[in-house]
Amino acid sequence: MTDLAVEGLVHVYREGSVRALDGIDLRIAAGERVALIGQNGSGKTTLVRHLNGLLRPTAGRVMVDGRNASTMTVAQLASRVGLVFQDPDRQVFAGSVRAEVEFGPRNLGRSGAELHDAVAAALDVTGLTGDEATNPYDLGMARRKLLALASVLAMRTPVLVLDEPTTGQDARGVERVRTVVKDAATDGRTVVAISHDMRFVAETFERVVVLRAGTIILDGSPDEAFAPSSWEALRSTYLEPPLSAVVGERLGLGSTPTDAHVVRALAGKP
């Protein structure tokens, strides 16, 4: 089980001296499902890239399993934190779907039945079973993104970090991602995901962290994060609550972050 702790994290990109993260404090317990939301450019991607050592802090620190990530090698971090990029083309490189998905677990020393099972399970949940021999670049963008997800899933890292996993996915693709997140949490793995899809966030995660200009402005359950009292904060980072929350507020139903909340509140009432 892996706990994550981000303490006073500041990141300044040298290129433009843009202060992308401006003092982030965040503790994530093993097995939590956490969504990171906020407008484009609010620092979400910069934050998650610190979790696997891809970026190093300008100030502050990132603790993985109680150890400072700065003192861990990329290999040590890679066995604990799996990061799926927003753009699969920055990640996918192998000549076949199978080779792509096997690469990570092989690097972690898996072989034989263990390797086979990890790859088969990752292909199954992403709907890529049967495409093992396909060249990744013969898959469309949406399925290439699911392949990038599968290749990280197969590493069975205790922490799974997803950067906008539903972007460009059709309805079935979104359901696959939702299953991945829920299964991972059921297995006790931690999931941290960036998303702009508020309905997906409200229905899939148990905790919502809202970023604005490199700081955390809201941190709570979907009930709290999408309650009318939070809308001002959401709107300050150009987010809108999901439709169900708006309808619930207009009908005086309290906080209704998902459609199911609205249905429960209204069913059986005149």
Question: Where do contacts with another protein occur on this chain (CB under 8 A)?
Answer: 13, 15-16, 38-41, 45, 86-87, 89, 140-143, 164, 167-174, 196, 198-199, 238-240, 242-244, 246-247, 250-251, 259-260, 262-263, 266-269
**21-52 per-residue burial string, b: 16 or more CB within 10 A, e: under 16:** bbebebebeebbbbbbbbbeebbbbbbbbbbb
Which lies closer to another protein via its Cβ, residue 80 or residue 144? Answer: 144
**Shortest Cβ 134–another protein spacing (Å):** 12
Which lies closer to another protein via its Cβ, residue 181 or residue 198? Answer: 198
Look at residues 48, 57, 69, 65 and name the one whose alpha carbon lies nearest to residue 23: 57
**Shortest Cβ 7–another protein spacing (Å):** 24
**Shortest Cβ 241–another protein spacing (Å):** 10
Which lies closer to another protein via its Cβ, residue 61 or residue 199? Answer: 199
From CA 215, how far away is CA 72, in angstroms rounded? 25
**Shortest Cβ 261–another protein spacing (Å):** 11
- 155 vs 20, 34, 72, 111, 230, CA distance in Å? 29, 20, 18, 12, 37
CA pseudo-torsion sign 184, 36, 217, 242: negative
**Shortest Cβ 102–another protein spacing (Å):** 24
Which strands sit side by side in the sheet containing 59-64, from one edge to the other? 18-28, 4-13, 59-64, 67-68
Which lies closer to another protein via its Cβ, residue 48 or residue 77? Answer: 48
Which lies closer to another protein via its Cβ, residue 13 or residue 93? Answer: 13
